Amino acid sequence: MNPSDVHPLLACPRCGGDFESSFETTLKCLSCGEFFPIREGVPSFYDPSVYWGEEFDLDEMRTINSLAVEKGWREAVRDMVKPKSPERAEYIEGFFRADWRFLFPVQENWTVLDVGAGWGTLSCALAEVVGEVVALESAFERAKFIQHRIEQDAISNLTAIHGTLTRPPLKAGSFDLIALNGVLEWLGWADTSRSVPSVQVAHLKTCWNLLKPGGWLYVGIENRFGISSWLGAMDHSYLKYTSLMPRMLAHGYTNLKRKHAYRTYTYSPIGYRRLLTKARFEEIDFFATLPTYSRPVYYWPVGNGKALKRVIKILTQEKPNNAKLGWAAKIVDRTPEGLLSVAAPYLVPHLLIVARKAKDDRID
């Protein structure tokens, strides 16, 4: 970012005012006078010491960023990430993660917000097909990694911002599409004084407010009752089966095992529809996807039993020695399409959700 040229979509997270930048490392709100730093080229609106990472701790992430400066971000991934997590390395470099974009009538002049942008893969992939992308990331070290990608790959229509959806430093009514990929389930931790659903709805309402009239929302997330949970897949509590439990039981079990509350709620399509409707979204559609929402190789309308049979057949041909997949294929093959269409929305493990702000809706 050129510090003398404030990005037109930035707004003060405190009052919504415009910024001026007369210094290389500072943004000043013209309305309330609040100052915000520009750290290593990244506008910063959140505590830089806050960090979370499922595979790489803060020291490792700092080393990755140092290598990215010294050798380039791709070499940093291959030297530091790939030896520890080959799947994560592929995840960072592979643009397949953004294949869900074909669910939307994406236009070259669209402005897109990628919330919880992580390593920047979705943001970079989207920048190839739209006019402008903003990557909003709460962990500064990851926002800095995205900045390295921007600079080293000369991506002129992508901006990395260190901030949160709780207090977004962005102008309302600015975006044609907002992506929440693996984000909604974590938002319960943003405000522990309120119930998890109320916090999630509040953040969805923030997305609604940031969208232009007629703008789209994308959510990639697990299905609460998906078959993978019944087979013992790890929940976001880092425990098995907690998504299947009644919420109070999940709270007690997580407190016992992890010494904290259970606040990473996922839902069935019925629950997700309820949240999105409360946040004023319309035209809500659900798509099942395999193998995961982070790698949407196959996706289809969630209630289409015929499509599910076809996809399972393809996967068993690709992986003939996968015992769990073979077991699932036998069940799917023997289930009538009508019954499968009714059951599938509750049992498919991962969902791609599409919702829209009404064309005649204005900013609150």
For residues 35 and 195, give the distance between their C-alpha atoms in angstroms, rounded to a whole number.
32
Note the pLDDT of residue 22.
57
For residues 269 and 343, give the distance between their C-alpha atoms in angstroms, rounded to a whole number.
12
Note the pLDDT of residue 2.
42
**Alpha-carbon separation of residue 348 from 229, 264, 286, 290, 310 (angstroms):** 10, 19, 11, 9, 14
Note the pLDDT of residue 363.
62
Note the pLDDT of residue 362.
67
For residues 276 and 278, give the distance between their C-alpha atoms in angstroms, rounded to a whole number.
5
Torsion of CA 252, 254, 258, 261, to 10 degrees: -80
Domains of the chain, by residue range, sit at 284-354
Q: Edge-to-edge strands of the sheet including 211-222?
A: 158-162, 132-137, 111-115, 175-181, 211-222, 350-356, 282-292, 295-301
For residues 85 and 64, give the distance between their C-alpha atoms in angstroms, rounded to a whole number.
13
Consecutive 10-residue averages of pLDDT for the chain (364 residues): 70 94 81 94 95 89 97 96 91 83 94 97 95 98 98 97 97 98 96 97 98 98 91 92 97 96 97 98 95 90 86 80 79 84 88 95 66
Closest CA to 362 of 170, 173, 205: 173
Note the pLDDT of residue 127.
96
